[in-house]
Structure 1
């Protein structure tokens, strides 16, 4: 009976995840048609770099770029590996394989976020939590061959496994997460914080499983660094090559202040960062320290190189979305948020199809 109950509960969440994903895809189709766009246009910007990895592997040396010498070393391997599997199995072109990989992860991430919110006791109906992902203004990145949906999926899965005391499996999820994006490596910090909170150092029965999970968590980025070292001689090339895009680490607060004094999108992005810090403060207030330990450095690290692309770095973070969902519920702002979110998503599709660089 217990197994039947679990399966029934999962099937209900799965049903709503499919419905929400389908709603997003219908909206996407309408927006593309109204904008005289094309589905082939979805693979653009970073997706083209991931496509080069799927098609030819990682570069051996830099290639020309309008801001200096760039190479695809900046892009972590797990998403292109997934797309390469689809490409090899179906014969679909790399861009199409990336878009399909992203959409599949998008669907699964909606389901995973609903499970994540349940595990962390959020007083938000699962369908509402799923809708927050499916109809975010930045949900466009779930369909454009970017890493965001895979990042959210593995973040939710890793934290869910941790919460249910499956420490080794949680560490394996973290290993995948650190193979998606550099900030995924901060999940190891979350495990460390959680281990101290749960006093797992002194719990003989759980200690070995916890330590193994902690060891596994950064494995994705460690393997990528090892590969790059033997491939082209620089284990940190994914950091060094960012200079080609003008992404040089600096004081994150200086970048934030500069954008706050700007106008238009610059100030909007800066306000989003301030909102993210407020949501992290809420996580700390609610004693969800392991969630805050993930989102604080995952926000500060990209902020240290500027605010370009910050919205997608923020609003695909599971801890921030959890805190946002609870804040919207408590303040009763859901009726106001929903139309604003859909309008924002509409605007993002228009900008994407028009080739506006701020969506990168």
Structure 2
């Protein structure tokens, strides 16, 4: 915690700036910043699950059915727990959980980056995650911060050979968001590498068994791998049983939201449609540049030989975000948990002087705060 203190203090400062700008912007428009953070969009759905349980749905005029079964249960469970043991409401609980989880996520990101690239890179990685344009979501009653915290610490557990902890954290991540599959994939990839090599002190995957692995070390590894998928698989199977559609029940629920996985075809059509008229061409160019940047960052991660679990995790998160077939405006938010993509620019910043690093991150923090306030007072995240 002492080593992580600069990263956590910097993260808290960036988030405080973002909330302060959001409050001022919202007040000028006669709106409540706290309502925007806790009682809009997905936050409302999580609160309904916490207060009413599953089974709530909205039927749209076009026949689509939006069911709250689409939302994984860990955040609503925690909201309900906060409401049960305190005078806070479920919405307040969601904000509190997100606040604490964002700090845990920042600490986890630091732990991973510091383990792989050193202290300065760890601090820069945390601050880069804080100043992302959609970083304001980290302060909302959404599940992104909670999931990122669980994923980051699961990856750190894998990198340091703590297999039972990695498996348990993967279970919790799988109960938080569908992209918990990325954490499971990272645990399985690193574990399989260790099993194939038998013993290793520093394999390419970053995960390790002792040089002379005892049977109990292998047992822990196997148990960690075995329990890792239980969270996401358990909820998906429960939804299938509740809807009567078996293993495809959750996919049917997502289809009601016009959401699915089509390999990026719908997103490609959406981007191509932006080039049909001049005003929208700029948006199309921005989307192409954004996707190219994400792909380029992942290529840099591969070229810099990041540990295998980080590559697998970031790759799955990125693929699921970019190849989803609906809610195209949500893609930047869906990429928030893909923090390993920030390690190459974090390494580059870590090699710069303190003044240069401070100036770059300070400017990004201001831009992020202004954009976040503008975004939430406008279209906002769906």
Matched, 1:89 2:80: no
Which runs of 5 or more residues in structure 1 are unaligned? 1-9
Give the drift of 1:217: 1.2
Comparing 34-43 and 78-87, the one that deviates more: 34-43
Comparing 70-79 and 325-334, the one that deviates more: 325-334
* Aligned with residue 314 of structure 1, among 329, 332, 335: 335
Separation in structure 1 between the aligned mates of residue 300 and residue 352 of structure 2, nearest angstrom: 14
Separation in structure 2 between the aligned mates of residue 134 and residue 302 of structure 1, nearest angstrom: 19
The alignment partner of 2:321 has SS state of: helix
Deviations 1:74-99 (CA, angstroms, capped at 9, x unpaired): 11111111111111111322222111
What is the root-mean-square deviation of aligned Cα atoms in Å?
Answer: 2.6
Comparing 306-315 and 156-165, the one that deviates more: 306-315
Separation in structure 1 between the aligned mates of residue 316 and residue 333 of structure 2, nearest angstrom: 15
Would the alpha carbon gap of residues 278 and 191 (structure 1) be closer, same or farther in structure 2, given more than 3 Å must change? same
Give the drift of 1:209: 1.6
Comparing 124-133 and 162-171, the one that deviates more: 124-133
Residue of structure 1 in register with 2:300 after alignment: 282
TM-score, length-normalised on structure 1?
Answer: 0.86
Give the drift of 1:330: 5.9
Separation in structure 2 between the aligned mates of residue 100 and residue 320 of structure 1, nearest angstrom: 27
Matched, 1:145 2:141: yes
Residue of structure 1 in register with 2:114 after alignment: 118
Separation in structure 1 between the aligned mates of residue 284 and residue 260 of structure 2, nearest angstrom: 18
Residue of structure 2 in register with 1:52 after alignment: 48
CA contact (8 A) 2:183 2:313 kept: yes
Give the drift of 1:304: 2.2
Matched, 1:28 2:27: no
Matched, 1:40 2:40: no
Would the alpha carbon gap of residues 348 and 11 (structure 1) be closer, same or farther in structure 2, given more than 3 Å must change? same
The alignment partner of 1:35 has SS state of: helix
Residue of structure 2 in register with 1:6 after alignment: none
The alignment partner of 1:320 has SS state of: helix
Residue of structure 2 in register with 1:64 after alignment: 59
Residue of structure 1 in register with 2:206 after alignment: none
Give the drift of 1:295: 1.6
Residue of structure 2 in register with 1:224 after alignment: 235
Separation in structure 1 between the aligned mates of residue 257 and residue 20 of structure 2, nearest angstrom: 32
The alignment partner of 2:58 has SS state of: coil
Deviations 1:100-131 (CA, angstroms, capped at 9, x unpaired): 11111112111221111111225734433322
The alignment partner of 1:70 has SS state of: strand
Deviations 1:43-102 (CA, angstroms, capped at 9, x unpaired): 211111111101111116x43235511101111111111111111111322222111111
Matched, 1:17 2:17: no
Matched, 1:156 2:165: no
The count of residues paired between Structure 1 and Structure 2 equals 348
Separation in structure 1 between the aligned mates of residue 131 and residue 157 of structure 2, nearest angstrom: 26
CA contact (8 A) 2:25 2:373 kept: no
Matched, 1:268 2:286: yes
Give the drift of 1:264: 4.1
Which runs of 5 or more residues in structure 2 are unaligned? 200-212, 275-280
CA contact (8 A) 2:58 2:66 kept: yes
CA contact (8 A) 2:7 2:127 kept: no
Separation in structure 2 between the aligned mates of residue 260 and residue 232 of structure 1, nearest angstrom: 36
The alignment partner of 1:51 has SS state of: helix
Residue of structure 2 in register with 1:300 after alignment: 319
Separation in structure 1 between the aligned mates of residue 154 and residue 131 of structure 2, nearest angstrom: 23
Residue of structure 2 in register with 1:3 after alignment: none
Deviations 1:303-354 (CA, angstroms, capped at 9, x unpaired): 2224331111223312122234224556888544641453133122222123
Give the drift of 1:253: 5.6
Separation in structure 2 between the aligned mates of residue 279 and residue 261 of structure 1, nearest angstrom: 26
Separation in structure 2 between the aligned mates of residue 240 and residue 331 of structure 1, nearest angstrom: 50
Matched, 1:207 2:218: yes
Separation in structure 2 between the aligned mates of residue 323 and residue 217 of structure 1, nearest angstrom: 28
Residue of structure 1 in register with 2:210 after alignment: none
CA contact (8 A) 1:113 1:129 kept: yes
Separation in structure 2 between the aligned mates of residue 202 and residue 180 of structure 1, nearest angstrom: 33
Would the alpha carbon gap of residues 292 and 23 (structure 1) be closer, same or farther in structure 2, given more than 3 Å must change? closer
Matched, 1:349 2:360: no
